[in-house]
Amino acid sequence: MSLAVAAVAAASACGSSGSTTTVTQKAANGGGDKSVLVGAGSTFVAPLVSQWEADYVKSPAAVTITYGAIGSGGGIDQITARTVDFGASDAPLSSDQAAACKGCIQIPWSLGAVAITYNVKGVPNKLHLTGPVLADMFMGKISSWNDPAIAKLNPGVNLPDTHITPVYRSDGSGTSFAFTDWLTKVSPDFANSVGTSTQPPFPTGTGAEHSSGVVAAVQATDGALTYVDLAYVQANGLNYALLQNAAGNYPEPGTKSVLAASTVGTTNPDGSISLVNPPASAPDAYPDATFTYVIVPQSSPKASTLKAFLEYAVGPKGQAFGPDLGYPKLPSSIVASDQALINKIGS
């Protein structure tokens, strides 16, 4: 509590001294004030960024980070329009988005697990589920919790006949992208009828905005399930499912299984790395992990401040906050390539 007060006091001091200079030298991106960095985007990484906000303002750099968790789609929008200094997205930029962003660099600054959480009276924690079964649940093909397909995976569990309500993100979401990316790869049916997107056309269920919204919707509805960043599941003490990976195992979602997935990721031509559906050669890998990216313009009036912050974020100080929230520390190879990308930022 006192931490928050101190952070807030320091932040307000920075904010108010900055306001006079910001008014006179307003640029199109978050103001010309170099002691403020403004970012927006992914709710997946918001818990971690929130820790950075509180901590970084106390550092000698004394820079206030203001982050708006509006969803990956919103983050891409904002940075493309240069109305923020950095954007955050779990979904890598599509080729159209990369072109529209005009010289944006996308840097993986954290990684985490997309967890499946559910609220069904009578169903215990750590239910076993597979990708194809989840795909059918989200397509409406499996509509009650005691469906044979689910029962087969969970012998000995007494499943009620409650109706399944899939809950999905109605806003532009990188978590949706990571989830549908996995389902598309393990279910040809899903690939045909829904596909991979930050706003997938789910044929049934309830939509809610932001990670917090889908969690709230699940808690309000008996029989509901959704996909969300592990940090939200842990923060709210929710049930989560154990998902089967290609090796047939059901690894605990957490830093260990996410790191195992990160060692066998496939690099795409645009530099992004896909971690979903790791091959069977990684027996402990979590099947639906994802990197999450910060998107920055290659030339920015706040280049030096931005670089310093990003180095903090991907470096040991920033990454130290991750494991408690469920985000493993970035593998050193990624940190190294990140540094190369950060060095490209100039004014």
Partner 1 sequence: MEAIATAAALLAAAVLAIVLFTLTKRALPAINTDLFTQNAAPFGQTGGGIKNAIVGTIIITGIATAIALPAGVLLAIFNTEFAPRRLADLISLTLNVLSGVPTIVIGVFIFGLVVVGRGQSAYAGALGLSIVMLPLVARATEEVLRLVPSHLREGGMALGATRARTVITVILPTAVGGVVTATILAVARAAGETAPLLFTTSIFVGTTVNTDPSQAMASIPMVIFTSSEQPDPHAQQQAWAAALVLVVIVLVGSIAGRLLSLRTRRQIEQVR
Partner 2 sequence: MTTETPTVHAPMTARRRWRFGDVALQGIAGLAAVGLAALMVLLVYEVVDQAHLSLSEFGLGFLNSSVWNTVHDEYGAADLIFGTLVTAVVALLIAVPIAIAIGLFLSELAPRALRTPVGTMVELLAAIPSVVLGLWGILVLGPFLNEHIEPFMIAHLGFIPFLDGYPSPVGLLPACLVLTLMVVPIVASISRELFSSVPSDLKQGAMALGATRWEMVRGVAMPQVSGGLVAAVMLGFGRAIGEAIAVAQVIGGSLTRPPNIYAPADTMASRLAAQYVGTATSLQKASLAYLAVILLVISLLTNVAAQVIVRRMQRRMGHG
Distances (CA, A) of 125 to 67, 120, 121, 236, 275: 33, 10, 11, 14, 25
The string of DSSP codes covering 104-152 is: EEEEEEEEEEEEEEEE-TT--SS-EE-HHHHHHHHHTSS-BTT-HHHHH
State the Cα–Cα distance between residues 176 and 178, nearest whole angstrom.
Answer: 6
Give min distance, CB of 30 to partner 1, in A.
Answer: 7
Q: Which residues of 121-135 are buried (b: 16+ CB within 10 A; e: fewer)?
A: eebeeebbbbbbbbb
198 binds, among partner 1, partner 2, none (CB under 5 to 8 A by kind): partner 2
State the Cα–Cα distance between residues 285 and 263, nearest whole angstrom.
Answer: 9
- Among positions 207-236, residues that touch partner 1 (CB under 8 A) are 208-210, 212-213, 215-216, 218-219, 232, 235-236
- The overall longest dimension of the chain from CA atoms, in Å, is 68
Q: Mask of contacts with partner 2, 161-200, x by CB under 8 A?
A: --x-x----xxx---------------------xxxxxxx
Give min distance, CB of 200 to partner 1, in A.
Answer: 20
Using CB under 8 A, which of the segments 72-80, 104-112, 149-157, 287-295 binds partner 2?
72-80
Contact (Cβ atoms closer than 8 angstroms) between residue 42 and residue 48: no
326 binds, among partner 2, partner 1, none (CB under 5 to 8 A by kind): none
206 binds, among partner 2, partner 1, none (CB under 5 to 8 A by kind): partner 2
Choose which of 6, 59, 62, 81 interacts with partner 1 (CB under 8 A).
81
Strand 86-89 and strand 289-297: the pairing is antiparallel
Distances (CA, A) of 15 to 65, 123, 143, 225, 238: 10, 48, 51, 40, 36
Contact (Cβ atoms closer than 8 angstroms) between residue 179 and residue 141: no
Q: Is 35 in the site for partner 1 (CB under 8 A)?
A: no
Which residues, in sequence order, are bridge partners of residue 344? none
215 binds, among partner 1, partner 2, none (CB under 5 to 8 A by kind): partner 1
Using CB under 8 A, which of the segments 21-29, 196-204, 254-262, 309-317 binds partner 1?
21-29
Choose which of 106, 130, 175, 206 interacts with partner 2 (CB under 8 A).
206
Q: Is 39 in the site for partner 2 (CB under 8 A)?
A: no
Handedness of CA 276, 282, 286, 290 (dihedral sign): negative
Short-list 138, 326, 95, 327, CA closest to 224: 138
Choose which of 37, 40, 230, 285 interacts with partner 1 (CB under 8 A).
40
83 versus 304: smaller Cβ distance to partner 2: 83
Q: Is 204 in the site for partner 2 (CB under 8 A)?
A: yes
Residues near 47 by Cβ (< 8 Å), separated by ≥ 6? Answer: 229, 231, 232, 235, 325
State the Cα–Cα distance between residues 339 and 138, nearest whole angstrom.
Answer: 39
Give min distance, CB of 286 to partner 1, in A.
Answer: 22
Binding site for partner 2 (CB under 8 A): 70-77, 96, 100, 163, 165, 170-172, 194-209, 217, 220-221
Binding site for partner 1 (CB under 8 A): 1, 4-5, 7-8, 11-12, 15-16, 18-19, 22-23, 26, 28-31, 38, 40, 46-47, 50-51, 53-54, 64, 66-68, 70, 74, 78, 81-84, 208-210, 212-213, 215-216, 218-219, 232, 235-236, 325
